[in-house]
Each structure stands twice: as C-alpha cells, then as structure tokens.
Amino acid sequence: MLTDAHITIIKSTIPLLENAGPELTSYFYKRMFSQNPELQDIFNMSNQHTGRQQVALFEAIAAYAKNIENLLVLTTAVERIANKHTSFNIQADHYAIVGHHLIETLRELAPEAFTSEVEEAWGSAYQFLAQIFIKREDEIYQTNANTTGGWTGKRAFKIIDKIIESKLVKSFILEPVDKQPVIDFTPGQYLGVEVIPTGSDYKEIRQYSLSDKPNGKTYRISVKRETIGVPGIVSNFLHDGIAIGDVINVNAPAGDFFFVDRAAPVVLLSAGVGITPMQSMLETLAQNNYQFPVHYLHACENEEQHSFNQRVQSLTADKNWQQTTWYRDEISENKNIEHGVMDFSSKSLPLSDGDFYLCGPIGFMQFAKQQLLTLGVCETRVHYEVFGPHASL
C-alpha cells in the first residue's frame, strides 16, 4: 500500500532522478536485457539503439514521481501506454521483472541514497502503478476477447495483397488465416505486427497505423520503408522479405489516438507517413457521409512520395471537402498542391470550433501545433499521435 510516508520519500528522490537523467534508464535496460534476454523479443530494439526509449521511460518515471500525489494528471499517459502495451501483448508477470530491475538499478547507481526506507517507498510506488496498468490492460484484453471478431494474444494473418502507394510506402492487406471475422477498430488506431526479419536473432514487434475504414474481414496497414540513419529492420523486411501468401502474427487493434465524432468540423493534418491514420479517418468520414466540413492537409517531399494522392482527390471532390498538399522540394501545376512548408494563414479553417488531428514527424507536429495555437485554436481541440516512444509537443 502506498502511504503518505512513501509519497514524501518518493518526492525527496526527485533531485536524484533528475541528476541521473536518461543514464538511469539506459543502465536499467542494459541490466534487464543481460539477465532477461527473452524480453528482446518484445521491446523495440531499434528504439534502444537510438536512445528514444530510454528518454521516454525516464520522462515517464520522473512524471510519476512528480505527480504521485495527483495521478489524475497522468490519466492520458496511462491510457496511451496501456494501449501500446496490449499491442505488444504485455502480461502481468512482465511487470515483476521490470520492477525487480528498476529497484536494483536504483540500488546500484545510488547505494548511499538508496536506504531501506527508499527501497520500500519505491517498491510500493512501483507496485501501485503496475496494478493500475495491469487492471487497465486486462480490461482492454477482455474487451477484445468478448467483441465479435476479437481475440487476445497473437493471431495469424496472411498477406493477401501488397500495394505500392508511393516511392517509400507500401500497403499490406491482412486476412486472418482462420477466415473468421476481425474486430472493428476506431480510425486512427494501429496494429501490433510481429515478424522475425532475415538475420535477426529476435522477434520484432512494430505498431503500424490502420490506413483504411473497418470492414470486419481484413485490415490494411501502410508501411514506410525507413532509410534515414539506421535502416528500419522491420519496414525493410516487410517491403522486401514478405510476399503475398506469407503469414505473420498480429495483435488486436489498439491506440488512444482516434477520431471522435464531436459533431463539428474536422481538420486532418499530416506529413510523410503520418498520412496513414488520416487516410483511415478520411475513408470512414466519407463512408459515413459526415455532415460537417472536412479539411485534409498534407505535406511531403514531392510527387514520388505522395501516398494516396488519387484516392484523396476522389474522396474530397465527391464531398466538396477542402484538401491541400505541400511539396517541399517540387513545384506542381495541380491547383491543390502548393510549394514549400505547410502554411495555414491563407486557409479558411474552422479555428473556433474545429477538431484538429495531427500525425507526422515530431518537428512537423510541433510546427503545426504552434501555428494553430497562434491562430487561436484551443489546445484541447488539437489531437496528435507520435510514432514510436511518446514525446510531448
């Protein structure tokens, strides 16, 4: 049980955490993977190499310590993380392993400060938080299991089609091997996909946004081939190593970023492969004959990298919805395509009552959000998704 004394001690260790910084979580992951190498079948090791996961975990631990007296402010973060955990099929016993290595990390990095009282306080705090996640994740698993087309754990899906959407993006149509229905999802959510890439020693799980409207029979994900920096081990394997007819394991749809019908205008903003959840939203809005204005704004490098171009033009023209794309390094004669970076100043957007959905590189979303706030959009109407470990805009 988490007591007032525990809370006081936890808060007193905040300076210790801040001084340690992400080095604390880097040490933690190295310790855990050396003693529990099987967890490398679950964690995204590419994010380990880039350091993004270490930073994200450190920020989460620091936020928990700082807000331990008022955990309601962490509700959104808990929901986001719990959804991501279910896409990895995280189970209750994984929390015991993580908790053990976290406590031992604190002990080994700060032996003088890590007294028995501090150990007891952090042990209780960790168990308290772990139970919150375990309970919420169990609710998600149970909902998936009890909903038509749902399942828990892995389910085998066959690749029944591969479609080139642009120079870097391919779509994969997934059909369950058992030919049974699949659970519906809310546009904006993602699938957890498990593969064993050629030459890899471990299973790799990645989350890819669903890029079409629900149909109860199949799913579509659209994957960008990652080529900048360290090539994406999974994205390149999906592009080159997976063929039509191959079977992969899939976890049920998840994610706390999704379209919510608030009976208001909608603005879909994306850059690069961030177009994928927006495409799912657009397809669904079109199918449902959404009765409020829809604006579809996208940014990419050039025509070669412009995914879903013809489809978007068709959907928006049929509904008389507004759509504009910005090419950063190419000039187009298409009246719906502008040159340069996305600029809202010349657009007639529903600034006072619209809901704005953002997805793309973090730098782009920070830039777009700041533009919107400067124009007077209420921050509560700006909703966003970060691919990979979460980061605040």
- CATH number, domain of 246, equals 2.40.30.10
**Model pLDDT, residue 140:** 97
Q: Identify whether the C-beta of residue 36 lies closer than 8 Å to the C-beta of residue 97.
A: yes
CB count within 10 Å of CB 136 equals: 17
> Residue 47's pLDDT is what?
66
Q: Which of 292, 296, 304, 291 shows the shortest CA–CA distance to 280?
A: 296
Q: Tell me, yes or no, whether 302 and 359 share the same domain.
A: yes
pTM of the predicted protein model: 0.92
**Closest by CA position to 157, among listed 149, 147, 166:** 149
Write the DSSP symbol of residue 211: -
Question: What does each C-alpha distance from 223 to 74, 86, 170, 206 come to in angstroms?
Answer: 31, 20, 5, 10
Domain end point (choices 207, 225, 254): 254
Q: Which residues in the chain show pLDDT less than 50?
A: none
Whether the CA torsion 213, 218, 219, 220 is positive or negative: it is negative
In a domain, 391, yes or no: no
Question: Is residue 72 located within the same domain as residue 206?
Answer: no
Question: In CATH, what number is assigned to the domain containing residue 102?
Answer: 1.10.490.10
- Is 65 a member of any domain? yes
Instruction: For residue 366, give the amino acid letter.
Output: Q
Q: Torsion angle, CA of 362/367/370/372, rounded to 10 degrees?
A: -100
Q: Do 230 and 307 share a structural domain?
A: no
Q: Is residue 57 situated within a structural domain?
A: yes
Same domain assignment for residues 215 and 335:
no
- Shared-domain flag, residues 25 and 66: yes
Looking at the fold, whether 55 and 28 belong to one and the same domain comes out as: yes
Domain boundary among 254, 278, 311: 254
Nearest to 332 by CA among 308, 301, 294, 360: 301
- Reduce the DSSP state of residue 340 to 3 states and report it: coil
Catalytic residue among 27, 29, 64, 95: 95
Which pLDDT does position 70 carry in this prediction?
84
Rounded to whole angstroms, how far apart are CA atoms 374 and 311?
32
pLDDT at 248: 97
pLDDT the model gives residue 198 = 87
Q: What pLDDT is attached to residue 62?
A: 85
The reply to whether 95 belongs to the active site is: yes
**Same domain for 95 and 229:** no
Query: pLDDT digit string (tens) for 307-362?
Result: 999 999 999 998 889 999 999 988 887 888 899 999 888 889 999 999 999 999 99
Answer whether 29's CB lies under 8 Å from 48's CB. yes
Cβ–Cβ under 8 Å, residues 323 and 308: no
Q: Are residues 326 and 234 in the same domain?
A: no
| pLDDT reported for residue 305 | 95
Flag whether 79 is in a domain.
Answer: yes
Do 129 and 208 reside in the same domain of the chain?
Answer: no
Q: What is the pLDDT at residue 388?
A: 57
358: domain CATH number is 3.40.50.80
Instruction: Identify the pLDDT of residue 100.
Output: 95
Which range of residues forms the domain containing residue 372? 266-385
User: What's the rounded Cα separation, in Å, for the pair 186 and 261?
Assistant: 11
**pLDDT, position 230:** 61
Same domain, residue pair 305 and 334: yes
**Last residue within a domain, chosen from 146, 163, 190:** 146
What does the alpha-carbon distance between residue 221 and residue 170 come to, in Å, rounded to a whole number? Answer: 8
**Cα–Cα distances in angstroms (integers) from residue 289 to residues 37, 118, 301, in the given order:** 50, 58, 31
Catalytic residue among 137, 165, 204, 385: 137
Euclidean distance between CA atoms 140 and 254, whole angstroms: 9
Query: Do 205 and 284 fall into the same domain?
Result: no
Per the domain annotation, does 392 fall within a domain?
A: no
222 and 161 within one domain? yes
Task: Give 239's contacts (C-beta < 8 A, 6+ positions apart).
Answer: 170, 223, 225
The answer to the question of residue 393 being in a domain is no
- The answer to whether position 51 is within a domain reads yes
Q: Known catalytic residue: 137?
A: yes
- Measuring CA to CA, which residue among 230, 168, 243 is closest to residue 44? 230
- Work out the number of other CB atoms within 10 angstroms of the CB of residue 43: 17
Under 8 Å between Cβ of 371 and 283? no
259 found inside a domain: no
Overall number of domains in the chain: 3
